[in-house]
């Protein structure tokens, strides 16, 4: 009893403290403070993720555990953690799960999400799962920002800014690229870059960067260093390369989704884990470069070091066969095999229940594409002498632009990790061409395709964004008095006298909507008492101009109102009557959401 009283008193004191703090600082200054806190916590999340994975890998190296069994071990441990510790609440798919929370849950993420993606992804990636840590970092950090906003009773718009701060801080911490991280929040999380959001994003980005600068080993990050040789001005070579990156990004997305769907065909979770673990373990055994995130191999390719790609000698037995005896052809074959396998292994990892993202695999494949392009160019045009490091970096930007549909993020990230903006023009050219090529073939990214199919994707288009955020159930009015088709005119008149509405839904015994009785249909006979017993409701009812299903998307609802020109339309769910939606109620809800969604 005493403990309950103390807990209640503590909650009351906390609410009073929050109220005084909000009143003293004001909302704008409070958001800045919370942005700094979010940045620090996001930086610590990145530290835990990176160092946790590095520790697991170091322990494996000491114990000499066979590499092929490790991915299965990671998937099994992840499954056990989700089932017995997280109570079967799988953290989800990282950034898509965060975007879904923004569009359908009013920018609210559950409290357990602050920790569950961190723990599960450390196990998945640490034991060799072919995925990245960026998406879990963003998801955990977004949950921190969202719950801080809830704690201080901030509205949707400010919670969205804090989620943007979390995404910014996560990428700034992992890549040490604060400007690219801010652009990522604008392009992917859909934060409007205004005076009200820019300062919180900057504060969060810098806070995270300072937090992680002393705690993460540079070898665990992309470490291009400063490119020693300046760009030589060879523009034309980047044009076909950009097209190849665009085509490659579409292929990457297709293979990823296909592998993820394929491994989910077996109903039993253990079968999925066994199949995915065996495939990933076998691939890692043959090609160690496919293990985990692969940042160390990206760094090696940026330095022009390619020998380690075939560390297991997987293609050694084929060197005596034809073209593979030539080192350039062997490199082409090796890089191509790795490029084809990486998205498939990532799809298997995530599809089997592992937790990780596609950011790192996209960068890995981009680096391989640059290496492959250089090797192919050397064979076709031996005298061209293109800079390998430049194309590895451009390949990373191009694949990221095409896969994530974030060309500006790709450009700034590649520029920042390379230590300067000397390669800005080729990076812009490659990213822009890759983005447009991929967009022509497939409109949405891996992150947004499923949400777009369901009409739940937030975009920078304010009208579409507000319609996505609106929920039909919240604007349904159910104070219309229903009548039965067998009722008489006299009973209908009594119902009219009791109602404040001028429409009455006509329902059968199962609650299904048969039609409506507008007041104007009754006005001519309602005072003729001689018809009170002889005329029935079925004689007076008419079909509505249109009917809305409770599962309809809001843009479809608006289209039905525009087409029918009706003021009220009935709403049904699986044929059963639910209520009505009016133009005025929709307009009021639309304005309210627009005010909340728009920045100051």
Residue range 269-304, pLDDT digits in tens: 999 999 999 999 999 888 888 998 888 888 888 888
Domain boundaries, the chain: 2-220, 238-455, 466-597
Task: Grade residue 62 by pLDDT with cuts at 50, 70 and 90.
Answer: very low
Residue range 187-234, pLDDT digits in tens: 888 777 777 788 999 999 999 998 887 777 665 566 665 554 555 557
Task: Grade residue 447 by pLDDT with cuts at 50, 70 and 90.
Answer: confident
pTM of the model: 0.79
Whole-angstrom Cα distance, residue 436 to residue 401?
A: 9
Give the pLDDT of residue 522.
81
Write the DSSP string, 375-415. Answer: HHHHHH-TT----HHHHHHHHHHHHHHHHHS-HHHHHHHHH
Confirm whether 2-220 and 466-597 share one CATH topology: no
- Give the contacts of 443 (CB within 8 A, at least 6 positions apart): 452
Give the pLDDT of residue 310.
61
76-85, 95-104, 279-288, 388-397: segment of lowest average pLDDT:
95-104
Residue range 565-587, pLDDT digits in tens: 888 889 998 888 988 988 877 77
Class of domain 2-220: mainly alpha
User: What architecture (CATH level 2) is domain 238-455?
Assistant: Orthogonal Bundle (1.10)
Give the pLDDT of residue 590.
67
CB 142 within 8 A of CB 163: yes
What homologous superfamily does CATH list for 466-597? CBS-domain (3.10.580.10)
Mean pLDDT of the chain: 83
Residue range 107-160, pLDDT digits in tens: 889 999 999 999 999 999 999 999 999 999 999 999 999 999 988 888 888 898
Side-chain half-sphere of 351: how many Cα atoms within 13 Å?
A: 27
154 three-class SS? coil
Chain centroid to Cα 574, Å, comes to 31
In the chain, the N- to C-terminal Cα span, in Å, equals 46
- Nearest 5°: phi and psi at 291? -70, 125
Percentage of residues of the chain with pLDDT beyond 90: 38
CB 369 within 8 A of CB 339: yes
* Whether the predicted pLDDT of 524 surpasses 80: no
């Amino acid at each position: 009893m005493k403990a309950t009283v103390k807990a209640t008193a503590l909650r009351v004191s906390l609410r009073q403290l929050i109220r005084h703090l909000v009143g003293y600082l004001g909302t704008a200054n409070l958001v800045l403070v919370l942005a700094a806190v979010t940045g620090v916590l996001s930086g610590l999340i990145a530290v835990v993720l990176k160092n946790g994975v590095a520790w697991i890998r170091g322990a494996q190296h000491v114990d000499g555990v066979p590499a092929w069994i490790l991915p299965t071990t990671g998937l099994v441990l992840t499954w056990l953690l989700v089932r017995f510790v997280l109570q079967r609440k799988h953290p989800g798919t990282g950034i898509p799960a965060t975007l879904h929370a923004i569009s359908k849950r009013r920018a609210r993420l559950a409290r357990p999400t602050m920790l569950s993606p961190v723990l599960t992804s450390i196990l998945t990636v640490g034991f060799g799962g072919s995925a990245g840590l960026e998406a879990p970092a963003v998801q955990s950090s977004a949950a921190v920002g969202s719950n801080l906003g809830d704690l201080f009773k901030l509205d949707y718009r400010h919670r969205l800014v804090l989620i943007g701060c979390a995404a910014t801080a996560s990428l700034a911490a992992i890549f040490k690229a604060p400007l690219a991280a801010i652009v990522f929040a604008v392009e992917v999380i859909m934060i409007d870059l205004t005076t009200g959001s820019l300062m919180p994003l900057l504060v969060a980005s810098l806070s995270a960067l300072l937090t992680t600068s002393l705690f993460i080993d540079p070898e665990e990050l992309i470490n291009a260093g400063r490119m020693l040789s300046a760009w030589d001005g060879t523009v034309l070579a980047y044009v076909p390369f950009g097209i190849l990156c665009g085509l490659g990004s579409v292929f990457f997305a297709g293979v990823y989704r296909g592998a993820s769907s394929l491994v989910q065909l077996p109903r039993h979770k253990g079968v999925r884990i066994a199949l995915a673990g065996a495939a990933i373990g076998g691939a890692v055994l043959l090609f160690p470069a496919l293990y985990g995130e692969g940042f160390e191999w990206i760094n090696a390719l940026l330095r022009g070091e390619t020998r380690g790609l075939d560390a297991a000698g997987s293609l050694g037995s084929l060197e005596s066969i034809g073209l593979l005896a030539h080192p350039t052809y062997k490199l082409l074959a090796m890089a191509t095999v790795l490029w084809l396998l990486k998205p498939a292994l990532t799809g298997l990892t995530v599809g089997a229940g592992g937790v990780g993202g596609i950011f790192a695999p996209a960068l890995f494949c981009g680096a391989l594409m640059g290496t492959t392009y250089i090797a192919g160019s050397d064979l076709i045009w031996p005298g061209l002498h293109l800079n390998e490091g430049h194309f590895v970096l451009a390949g990373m930007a191009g694949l990221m632009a095409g896969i994530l549909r974030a060309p500006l993020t790709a450009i700034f990230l590649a520029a920042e990790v390379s230590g300067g903006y000397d390669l800005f023009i080729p990076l812009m050219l490659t990213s822009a061409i890759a983005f447009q090529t991929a967009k022509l073939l497939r409109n949405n990214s891996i992150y947004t395709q499923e949400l777009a199919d369901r009409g739940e994707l937030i975009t920078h288009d304010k009208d579409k964004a507000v319609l996505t955020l609106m929920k039909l159930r919240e604007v349904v009015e159910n104070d219309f008095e229903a009548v039965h088709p067998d009722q008489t005119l006299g009973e209908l008149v009594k119902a009219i006298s009791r109602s404040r509405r001028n429409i009455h839904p006509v329902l059968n015994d199962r609650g299904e909507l048969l039609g409506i009785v507008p007041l104007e249909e009754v006005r001519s006979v309602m005072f003729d008492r001689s018809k009170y017993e002889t005329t029935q409701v079925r004689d007076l009812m008419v079909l509505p101009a249109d009917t809305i299903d409770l599962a309809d998307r809001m843009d479809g609802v608006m289209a039905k109102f525009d087409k029918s020109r009706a003021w009220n339309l009935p709403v049904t769910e699986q044929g059963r009557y639910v209520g009505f939606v009016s133009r005025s109620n929709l307009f009021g809800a639309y304005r309210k959401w627009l005010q909340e969604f728009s920045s100051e």
